[in-house]
Structure 1
Amino acid sequence: MSRAGLRWALLGLVLIAGPALAQLDVGKLFGAAKKAVDVVTTKSVDEEREIGRQWAATLLGAAPLVRDEALQQYVNRVGLWVALQSERPDLAWRFGVLDSPNVNAFATPGGYIFVTRGLLLRLRNEAELAGVLAHEIGHVVARHHLNAIRKAQGLSLGADLLSEFALKGRGDETVNERLLGGVREVLTRGLDKGDEYAADRIGVVLAARAGYDPFGLPSVLQTLQAMDAQDSTLALMFATHPRPDARLDALDKSMGTQLDGLGTLSQAEARFLALRGP
């Protein structure tokens, strides 16, 4: 199937429910996420958001936001539109561009999502940006980070993190040291490969649901694959994620089609380049 044909096939499968969904198991892509959402209560969402706020503060302490209001608003508009297509549209989603030359993107529990200036400068269009944000949204939807903290601290998946790690006070900017230790471990070690592959699959579907070219994320992975692995700006990305070629292979197998030979994407390119800057 041609790239154009596959794009429309993916869009049709994602946007129109029907028997064809079963052929690519697209419905199963959100299995773990839906299971997590089904048990979410207002209290647990508030607690998740509080953990995410603390986590986001840690990231912002390492790298501030880029001082460009138009750019930040633009990334928030793109991210929110994609997030609204997810299984958790009601989260108070927030998106930002960190002023860091490193090539990376981050998500925290509760819907805080960041992309670095270094990664943004390597993206070619809005579809690629949407694909990156959709991958990070996938982590939040499936609560990957919360489950990773539980695992790091030897807790059961059903454990209430803020019951186990009580906050010192709602207005306090610090959390229990054990919880913070779990956050540090996840930031340093990254998530399990299975979580990254799952977020890739969810990201492709979310981007397509939002009307973007579903090849946006694979195109970014190809860009990363072509970069020099010794480039210091890639160090953290490569230390905490599977290799780009492994991620492309996993997407290839799960989506049932070859993802090689992607060309330059053009969707919203002028708008994207104007806001990204030189």
Structure 2
Amino acid sequence: MAAFSSTGRRFSGAGRASGVGAMLLGLSLLGACTTIENGLQEAAGVEASKAAYLPGPTREPVTFENLQKADPQSSIGRSQHPKILQAYGGAYSDPKLEQTLAGIVGRLSAVTDDPNRVYRITVLNSPNVNAFALPGGYLYVTRGLLALANDSAEVAAVLAHEMAHVTANHGIERQKREEAAEIAGRVVTEVLASDSAGRAALARGRLNLASFSRNQELQADALGIRQTGRAGYDAFAASRFLRAMDSYSHFRTAFQADDPNLDFLASHPAAPQRVELAERHAREFGMNGTGLTDRDRYLNGIDGMLFGDSAVEGYVRNRSFYHPGLGITFDVPAGFVIDNTAEAVLATGPGDTAIRFDGVALPRSSGLVDYIKSGWIGGLDVGSIRELRIAGLDAVSARAAGGEYVFDVTVIRVGDQVYRFLTALPAASDASVGQIAGTVANSFRRLSAEEQASLKPLRIRIVAASSGDTAQSISNRMIGVDRKLEMFQLLNDLKPASTLKVGGRYKIIAE
């Protein structure tokens, strides 16, 4: 955002790692020996394959690294792996969950078209819903995606899709295309400068690059669904989970403005197209409902899994943000949705309103007025600067303008730390920016020791429905989330009119 550019880090202080992203947690990786051994034990009629993978008494230990030596692509994944961990908050460690995923990956590996390929799966400590792969057999899935899935078949469909990217060398192809596009972009820029023909050429190049990526996604869908079906899982799980992800995406972006231009450069095809094609591929394995879902085992595996943000990132509770390590909290108005990202806490609300919150270190000898005038705010109205007190703390606010937006910037000092609020509204809503910004900034305060001690992470809990239970009654047990009923239905893939089965097991969010 032009009016808010700073290279300062987001947070520093107790419980926070320096630099961008979360404190790296203990690495949790499923080595090839665990994945293959457990999975092959579950797959029927694969004793020969099992013997090929398991070590004899005189062989060197079977590890992902040793088996990977024969893969010429392994250096790419190995070099990028630490960067992935840093970007996604490290690896999430949960032995019960790891065992569940090991069985799924092993079962898929038993029927792969590339039996010499080995895989390492990492659960990323991120609430985002995502999964991807790197060349060399590196698979990644976030705990946010695992929370959304409802059975082993859905996770198998996701992982088989990512394994297909590896098998089809899509990562290598994408790297080559990106390098070629970068060179072409430089040539177009240098030769055609700002000429409209140059801009059109660049746009066509970006569109072709994105279109090819969409074709890769469709190919990975087809290969992954076939592998899922051959492994004995419900082949319709892919289309089922695609719908779930689409519903969750709409749930998360309910208050965000849509930009139709983004659809042209999206890396994935539109959800309806993918669902239709996925169902067509799944019919090769029979009618809907054919195949294993393994729901109970999967729910056992994710029971107790961390949900949402971790303590080192701070917690979002409805319309409030709490950081127990830093000892701070603030609220956003009704109708806003908070997203705690790796770089900042963001909130979006009605009327294209956006709020950003972050923090930087600032020596006590530096004044707040001098800091706000130091050049990190573009379009600053110096005459609007005013000093104030918020929750007994020194603070300074100012107004700025840039493009079609107006901004309110408020900085608050807590010791050697300065916390910054940026509120942005369209210029037509200039009269409202001060009111919204003031409401948010004035809600900022320090947490008491008792409040800090009482804050606990949210987790996925599995509960059984009793006679008389409804989606509404069970969703009321959830804490820390807004729109409880909608979230409960999303987590459990329930329609609004769905009734619960007595004894049925369902996911809720609780401490």
Asked whether the two chains share a fold, i.e. TM above 0.5, the reply is yes
Match of 2:110 in 1: 84
Confirm whether residue 240 of structure 1 aligns to residue 267 of structure 2. yes
CA deviations 1:140-191 (Å, max 9, x no partner) are: 0101010111111129xxxxxxxxxxxxxxxxxxxxxxxxxxxxx9xxx797
Match of 1:23 in 2: none
- State the Cα distance separating 1:77 from its structure 2 match: 2.5
- Find 2:247's aligned residue among 209, 226, 230: 226
Q: Distance in 1 between matches of 2:102 and 2:211?
A: 24
Q: For residues 239 and 118 of structure 1, do their structure 2 counterparts lie closer, same or farther at Cα, with a shift above 3 Å needed? A: farther
- State the Cα distance separating 1:192 from its structure 2 match: 0.4
- Runs (4 or more) in structure 1 with deviation over 6 Å come to none
Match of 2:170 in 1: 144
1:101 counterpart letter in structure 2: P
* Mapping for residues 1-278 of structure 1, pairs under 5 Å: 46-63=71-88, 64-154=90-180, 192-229=213-250, 231=252, 239-252=266-279, 267-277=293-303, 278=460
Q: Is the 8 A contact 2:226 2:281 kept in 1?
A: no
Q: Distance in 1 between matches of 2:97 and 2:143?
A: 11
Q: For residues 266 and 45 of structure 1, do their structure 2 counterparts lie closer, same or farther at Cα, with a shift above 3 Å needed? A: closer
Local SS of the residue matching 2:250: coil
Q: TM-score, normalised by structure 1?
A: 0.63
Q: Is the 8 A contact 1:76 1:94 kept in 2?
A: no
Match of 2:377 in 1: none
Of residues 125-134 and 79-88 in structure 1, the stretch that sits farther from structure 2 once superposed is 79-88
Q: For residues 253 and 46 of structure 1, do their structure 2 counterparts lie closer, same or farther at Cα, with a shift above 3 Å needed? A: closer
Report the structure, 1 or 2, having the larger helix content: 1
Q: Distance in 1 between matches of 2:177 and 2:109?
A: 26
CA deviations 1:192-231 (Å, max 9, x no partner) are: 0000001110111001111111111111011122234362
Q: Distance in 1 between matches of 2:171 and 2:107?
A: 22
Highest RCO, 1 vs 2 (Cα 8 Å, sep ≥ 6): 1
Q: Is the 8 A contact 1:50 1:110 kept in 2?
A: yes
Q: Distance in 1 between matches of 2:225 and 2:166?
A: 15
Local SS of the residue matching 2:272: helix
Q: For residues 147 and 44 of structure 1, do their structure 2 counterparts lie closer, same or farther at Cα, with a shift above 3 Å needed? A: farther
- State the Cα distance separating 1:57 from its structure 2 match: 2.1
Question: Identical aligned pairs, as a percentage?
Answer: 31
Match of 2:335 in 1: none
Q: For residues 221 and 110 of structure 1, do their structure 2 counterparts lie closer, same or farther at Cα, with a shift above 3 Å needed? A: same
CA deviations 1:125-150 (Å, max 9, x no partner) are: 01111111110011001010101111
Q: Is the 8 A contact 2:119 2:138 kept in 1?
A: yes
Q: TM-score, normalised by structure 2?
A: 0.36
Q: Distance in 2 between matches of 1:272 and 1:125?
A: 5
Q: Distance in 2 between matches of 1:43 and 1:223?
A: 34
- State the Cα distance separating 1:86 from its structure 2 match: 1.6
Q: For residues 92 and 44 of structure 1, do their structure 2 counterparts lie closer, same or farther at Cα, with a shift above 3 Å needed? A: closer
Local SS of the residue matching 1:100: coil
2:247 counterpart letter in structure 1: A
Structure 1 unmatched runs, 5+: 1-41, 156-184
Q: For residues 74 and 150 of structure 1, do their structure 2 counterparts lie closer, same or farther at Cα, with a shift above 3 Å needed? A: same
Structure 2 unmatched runs, 5+: 1-66, 182-205, 259-264, 304-459, 461-511
Q: Distance in 1 between matches of 2:226 and 2:292?
A: 19
Local SS of the residue matching 1:47: coil
Q: Distance in 2 between matches of 1:89 and 1:219?
A: 28
1:58 counterpart letter in structure 2: K
Q: For residues 248 and 84 of structure 1, do their structure 2 counterparts lie closer, same or farther at Cα, with a shift above 3 Å needed? A: same
Local SS of the residue matching 2:141: strand
Local SS of the residue matching 1:229: helix
CA deviations 1:46-92 (Å, max 9, x no partner) are: 33011011222221111211121221232123113213322222222
In terms of Rg, which structure is larger? 2
Q: For residues 61 and 219 of structure 1, do their structure 2 counterparts lie closer, same or farther at Cα, with a shift above 3 Å needed? A: same
Q: For residues 218 and 229 of structure 1, do their structure 2 counterparts lie closer, same or farther at Cα, with a shift above 3 Å needed? A: same
Q: Is the 8 A contact 2:225 2:281 kept in 1?
A: no
Match of 1:181 in 2: none
2:175 counterpart letter in structure 1: I
Count of aligned pairs: 202
